[in-house]
């Protein structure tokens, strides 16, 4: 009798599951049929022949927009472009560029790329591509990329203007794979504190990180500042691997879960390269996704100190699904949770438009300047391994808050930045003085010790900026009196701006000069010397903060 009851129960369960599956399938079939009806009516009754590719694409885009802010439909080309920074390379000629005065200016050739091998250098101006003049025609960044990128092995002909050379220089560049680095800088902040800045979590990130450790640890690095500010994320597995380098064996890094995706735990699995030593992670409102996984794991296990401002708040996991025409549906399939159980995804109930205005809302509410503006949800309260209180529901809150410093902002500084005048001036300065600079400062260390950004340098820049801004805004038909008045107003704005922003103007000039000579790391070495968050990190490592918070570092 019991056996019959068990068999009957089993059949009933199977029948219920089958019925439920059939019901779900039926619901989906109903919606498919409805969509088919609409397409058929358009095909049979519409006044003209529509563009079906566009019609279906727009329908899918509209459908996906109703899901969440991070699900996305992309064409094959859009998906490839999105994925390039994460796969660690693209195919092209290998230059960093800016558009200055409507001309493509080479900021620097990428090390080891085809342009560098041919001798193209920073300051060069690309004025002709494949017999077409590209200077003075309103060219955009998108235009430059479409003309210069291409498949490995293909060639593109360019003509370059170089200061001091009478004629344009002809180059035929054979495109190649160009590396995209996810590590911007790694160097020693003090005798025993190392610094590493990551801009994304890509396929190459861990190899780059290991190479950084291989350089820093022999220099005496005992403690580490990991800068994830502005890092919008990348691959989940890379975030797990990086966290693994800081956490002990079998410690939970993150877990993921969704309606159609059962809970999956991810643990630290091996001996990490930096399990001992004080660790500080820098975050801000631009730190998202994979950055928040690392920050959350470090914070929840009391492995290190989080310094900066509240992170972005993206706790959704996307998986790409290829469609039959080569397009891709990047679909949110799960939420991720920190070891303490926090989902740090902020609300998107107000719709995608409101979601994307979050940073402005935070600024307006005063959160960038003080945490007092935040109201903590007691239902989102969690505790770390050492029973410190942390919160979920909207980003990672730092252990030490660093407000956004706007005290040096001015109208004049905004004008300089928005018109690209720092880049323009430094490019022209280096182009005109390259041999002398290379001779006097063969490396960054020599530059750091010997280069003095004196008043004469700043005044030359200001004269240049004043001329450019006045020329940009003046009307050639103005009367002389009006032009003189404009000039006087500009000079007043400059004087006031210099009083407020003089220090940051000097710092940016020095940092960009260093970057033009020695790549991106040199920029951060200059800028970090005056960075409040970096200063707080060093202070916390050197005082008793780690002991006070009972953080693990031995």
For 90-121, the DSSP string reads EEE--EEEEEETTEEEEEEEPTTSHHHHHT--
pLDDT of 476: 47
pLDDT of 163: 76
Query: Residue 103: beta bridge partners?
Result: 100
**Tokens linked to 207:** 């190899």
C-beta separation of 384 from 302 below 8 A: yes
SS3 category, 132: strand
**Tokens linked to 376:** 């903590």
- Please tell me the pTM assigned to this model: 0.85
**Closest C-alpha among 331, 335, 310, 309 to residue 320:** 331
How far is 256 from 315, CA to CA, in rounded Å? 9
CA 287-289-290 angle, 5° bins: 95
SS3 category, 8: helix
**Tokens linked to 62:** 């509209």
pLDDT of 479: 54
C-beta separation of 282 from 266 below 8 A: no
Query: Residue 74: beta bridge partners?
Result: 328
**Tokens linked to 116:** 């560098």
**Going by C-beta distance under 8 Å and a sequence separation of 6 or more, which residues neighbour residue 206?**
238, 241, 242
The residue written with tokens 């998107």 in the block is 348
C-beta separation of 414 from 501 below 8 A: no
**Tokens linked to 168:** 């344009």
pLDDT of 11: 43
**Tokens linked to 340:** 């303490």
Question: What is the C-alpha R_g of the chain?
Answer: 28
Alpha-carbon torsion 503, 505, 506, 508, what sign? Answer: positive
The residue written with tokens 């291989």 in the block is 214
**Tokens linked to 310:** 């509240």
CA 443-447-453 angle, 5° bins: 155
- Kindly list the distances between the CA atom of residue 252 and the CA atoms of 52, 294, 338, 386, in Å, as whole numbers in the listed order: 48, 11, 8, 15
* Per-run averaged pLDDT (10 residues), the chain, 554 residues: 48 46 65 87 91 89 90 86 75 84 82 83 86 88 85 91 85 88 95 96 95 97 97 94 96 95 93 94 96 98 97 93 91 95 90 84 88 82 95 92 92 85 86 88 92 91 83 52 69 85 94 89 94 97 95 89
pLDDT of 155: 92
> What amino acid positions are annotated as catalytic residues?
289, 300, 314
C-beta separation of 287 from 311 below 8 A: yes
Which domains are seen in the chain, by residue range? 37-66 (no CATH), 90-179 (2.30.42.10), 183-404 (3.90.226.10), 411-533 (no CATH)
SS3 category, 419: coil
**Going by C-beta distance under 8 Å and a sequence separation of 6 or more, which residues neighbour residue 393?**
342, 343, 344, 345, 346, 347, 377, 380
């Amino acid at each position: 009798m019991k056996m019959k009851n068990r068999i009957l129960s089993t059949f009933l369960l199977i029948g219920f599951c089958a019925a439920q599956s059939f019901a779900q399938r039926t619901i989906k079939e109903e919606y498919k049929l409805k969509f088919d009806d609409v397409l058929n009516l358009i095909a049979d009754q519409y006044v003209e022949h529509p563009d079906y590719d566009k019609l279906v694409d727009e329908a899918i885009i509209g459908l996906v927009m109703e899901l969440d802010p991070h699900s996305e439909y992309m064409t094959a080309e859009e998906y490839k472009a999105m994925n390039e920074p994460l796969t660690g390379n693209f195919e092209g000629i290998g230059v960093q560029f800016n558009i200055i005065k409507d001309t493509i200016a080479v900021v620097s050739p990428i090390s080891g790329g085809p342009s560098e091998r041919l001798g193209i250098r920073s300051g060069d101006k690309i004025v002709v591509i494949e017999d077409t003049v590209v200077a003075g025609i309103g060219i955009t960044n998108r235009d430059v990329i479409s003309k210069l990128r291409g498949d490995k092995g293909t060639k593109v002909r360019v003509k370059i203007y170089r200061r001091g050379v009478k004629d344009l220089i002809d180059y035929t560049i054979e495109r190649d794979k160009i590396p995209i680095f996810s590590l911007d800088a790694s160097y020693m902040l003090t005798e025993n504190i190392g610094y590493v800045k990551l801009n994304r979590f890509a396929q190459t990130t861990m190899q780059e990180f290991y190479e950084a450790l291989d350089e820093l640890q022999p220099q005496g690095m005992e403690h580490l500042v990991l800068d994830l500010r502005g890092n919008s994320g990348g691959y989940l597995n890379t975030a797990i691997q990086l966290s693994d380098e800081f956490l002990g064996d079998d410690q939970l890094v993150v877990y993921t879960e969704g309606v159609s995706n059962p809970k999956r735990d991810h643990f630290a699995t091996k001996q990490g390269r930096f399990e001992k030593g004080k660790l500080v992670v820098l975050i801000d409102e631009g730190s998202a996704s994979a950055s928040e996984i690392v920050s959350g794991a470090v914070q929840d296990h009391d492995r290190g100190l989080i310094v900066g401002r509240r992170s972005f708040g993206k706790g959704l996991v996307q998986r790409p699904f290829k469609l039959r025409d080569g397009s891709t549906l990047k679909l949110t399939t799960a939420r991720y949770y920190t070891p303490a159980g926090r989902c740090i995804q902020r609300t998107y109930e107000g719709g995608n438009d409101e979601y994307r205005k979050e940073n402005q809302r935070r600024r307006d509410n005063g959160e960038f300047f003080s945490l007092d503006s935040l109201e903590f949800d007691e239902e989102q309260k969690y505790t770390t391994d050492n029973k410190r209180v942390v919160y979920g529901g909207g980003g990672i809150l730092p252990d030490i808050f660093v407000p956004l410093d706007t005290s040096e902002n001015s109208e004049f500084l905004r004008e300089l930045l928005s018109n690209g005048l720092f880049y323009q001036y430094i490019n022209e300065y280096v182009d005109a003085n390259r041999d002398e600079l290379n001779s006097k400062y063969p490396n960054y260390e020599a530059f750091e010790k010997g280069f003095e950004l004196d008043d004469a340098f700043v005044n030359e820049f200001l004269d240049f900026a004043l001329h450019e801004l006045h020329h940009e805004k003046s009307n050639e038909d103005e009367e002389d009196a009006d032009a003189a008045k404009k000039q006087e107003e500009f000079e007043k704005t400059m004087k006031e701006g210099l009083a407020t922003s003089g220090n940051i103007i000097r710092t940016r000039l020095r940092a960009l000069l260093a970057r033009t000579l020695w790549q991106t790391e040199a920029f951060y070495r200059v800028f970090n010397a005056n960075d409040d968050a970096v200063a707080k990190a060093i202070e916390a490592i050197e005082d008793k903060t780690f002991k006070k918070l009972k953080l693990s570092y031995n």
